[in-house]
Structure 1
Amino acid sequence: MAEHTLQNKVAVIGGGEKNLGGLLSTEFARAGAQIVVHYHNDREAAEETVRAVKEEGSQAVAVQGDLTEVPHVRRLFDQAVDTFGGVDVAVNTTGMVLRKPILETTEAEYDQMFGINAKAAYFFLQEAGRRLNDHGKIVSLGTSLQAAFTDGYSTYAGGKAPLEHFTRAAAKEFADRGISVNTVAPGPMDTPFFYPQETPERVQFHKSQGLGGQLTQLEDIVPIIKHLCTDGWWFTGQTLFPNGGYTTR
């Protein structure tokens, strides 16, 4: 049986430079993991996260890439193996939010949203399945809108919806190597990505739908992902909805 700890493990964090990914990077480092910090555009944030990881006594490398481009996904995992000798944990926190009516959505917006929320997630999962050591852990970031009945988020929730099946299929296909695969689907998170999509009135509505009248905090989600990557290894093929009871049904 594999040891259920992050000590001396190597973790690839998609979108690991800031927000949820940045917090995961430093928390995993605190638990003893070496971190591959993926970033798309914000090199300064990635370098700051690398410094924070090193302050925790671990090692890190920042790798730039557009995960909608499959060669970039492969290069990310190549860099992890070349730098640290292998990969044990892969967490993809990347995504893009758009709230727009179906009748106003352009083809370019559709392609962009499904590119980052579905295509990038799929090929990150594929490459993780190829490159992870036995008994590895894979976690994707979904959204509680996958289980909601609401308007406006057709391309965001629709782009994230395939993660449920990707996760189930990968869990079966990678099971013979002891690799667990899960999706964590939080409620609306208190991050800079959320507020531009909503009016103040809708922000208050979303808060009212969660436990304690608040949005999901990053600190609420980090322990759940960490658990799935350590003691929660028996979860696999699951989409978990840590959302404080958030619902728009």
Structure 2
Amino acid sequence: MSGKTRIALVTGGSGGIGRVVATRLAADGMTVVVHYAGNPAPAEEVAKEIAGAGGSAVTLQADVTEPERVRELFDAVEQQFGGVDVVVNTAGVMILKPVTELDVDDLDRMLRLNVRGAFLVSQEAARRLRAGGALINFATTVRKLALPTYAGYAASKAAVEALTPILAKELRGRDVTVNAVAPGPTATPFFFKGKPQEVIDQMSKAAPLERLGEPADAAEAVAFLAGPARWVNGQTVFVNGGVI
């Protein structure tokens, strides 16, 4: 990797884990492109937070489920900065219902963003990442925990986990790593939504460390994979405090 400032694109970078990932990569000296899908205000808040801490960030909008919009997103990054070195795929949606109650439209929504969106961003990243670059996808520990009501979500993230090592092998000779981070129960609005307190309390004690994960825990793993971890490739890193 050269001494030039590295450029990082974080999809879904305006909320939850994505926001903390964006601020962490900026703290590590990267210029961060904070992607958002609809409302620009949260993304602009992240960019202002980064700038206030002495970092550099811009915001860009795109529907990552549409191939042309994804190409335009990467075009815009290249036009502004000359290229891209790190892509972090945090954009996603989670809808929790038992299999017998999950509406097919909700399933389609998760598959469209979590699988199709991740695939399209990974595809374009594979075409454009510069030597020394890194693609980091987001999977989930729930794939191993097999918690009730998570079937649709876990299935969508299992697809991302399967994609990751195959793409790593397809990029042989490019000096680009492809890995996934699989958080366990993490204290975000995404996690708390719709859960009764007793479920939250139970899940917070599931890990041997007896707490929920924090977005910063996932961001720490991303920073490792985006920077010094050049010999970690094609892997899923489970960031869950030892819950499994």
Normalised by the size of structure 2, how large is the TM-score?
Answer: 0.95
Q: Are residue 16 (structure 1) and residue 17 (structure 2) matched?
A: no
For residues 243 and 70 of structure 2, what CA distance do their matches in structure 1 show? 33
Alignment-mate amino acid for residue 14 of structure 1 = T
Structure 2 counterpart SS, 1:175: coil
Equivalent residue pairs, number: 244
147-156 vs 52-61, which moves further: 52-61
- Any idea what the Cα deviations from partners look like across 1:140-196, whole Å, max 9, x if unmatched? 111101212332111100110011221011100112101000000010110001112
Cα contact 1:98–1:197 (8 A) shared by 2: no
For residues 50 and 149 of structure 1, what CA distance do their matches in structure 2 show? 36
Cα contact 1:66–1:72 (8 A) shared by 2: yes
Pairing 1:157-168 to 2, within 5 Å after superposition: 157-168=154-165
For residues 187 and 220 of structure 1, what CA distance do their matches in structure 2 show? 10
For residues 44 and 164 of structure 1, what CA distance do their matches in structure 2 show? 31
For residues 43 and 196 of structure 1, what CA distance do their matches in structure 2 show? 22
Pairing 1:71-220 to 2, within 5 Å after superposition: 71-220=68-217
Structure 1 counterpart SS, 2:239: coil
- Which segments of 5 or more consecutive residues in structure 1 lack a partner in the other structure? none
Q: How many Å apart are 1:104 and its aligned residue? A: 1.1
For residues 56 and 136 of structure 2, what CA distance do their matches in structure 1 show? 21
Q: How many Å apart are 1:14 and its aligned residue? A: 0.5
For 1:38, the equivalent position in structure 2 comes to 35
Q: How many Å apart are 1:201 and its aligned residue? A: 1.7
- Percent identity between the two aligned chains: 35
- Any idea what the Cα deviations from partners look like across 1:45-92, whole Å, max 9, x if unmatched? 111111222233343221112212222211211111011110000001
Q: CA RMSD in A?
A: 1.5
Q: How many Å apart are 1:98 and its aligned residue? A: 1.4
For 1:70, the equivalent position in structure 2 comes to 67
Cα contact 2:16–2:190 (8 A) shared by 1: no
85-94 vs 39-48, which moves further: 39-48
135-144 vs 145-154, which moves further: 145-154
For residues 187 and 30 of structure 1, what CA distance do their matches in structure 2 show? 24
Q: How many Å apart are 1:244 and its aligned residue? A: 0.6
For 1:50, the equivalent position in structure 2 comes to 47
Alignment-mate amino acid for residue 9 of structure 1 = R
Structure 2 counterpart SS, 1:213: coil
Alignment-mate amino acid for residue 23 of structure 2 = T
- Which segments of 5 or more consecutive residues in structure 2 lack a partner in the other structure? none
Structure 1 stretches of 4+ moved >3 Å? none
Normalised by the size of structure 1, how large is the TM-score?
Answer: 0.93
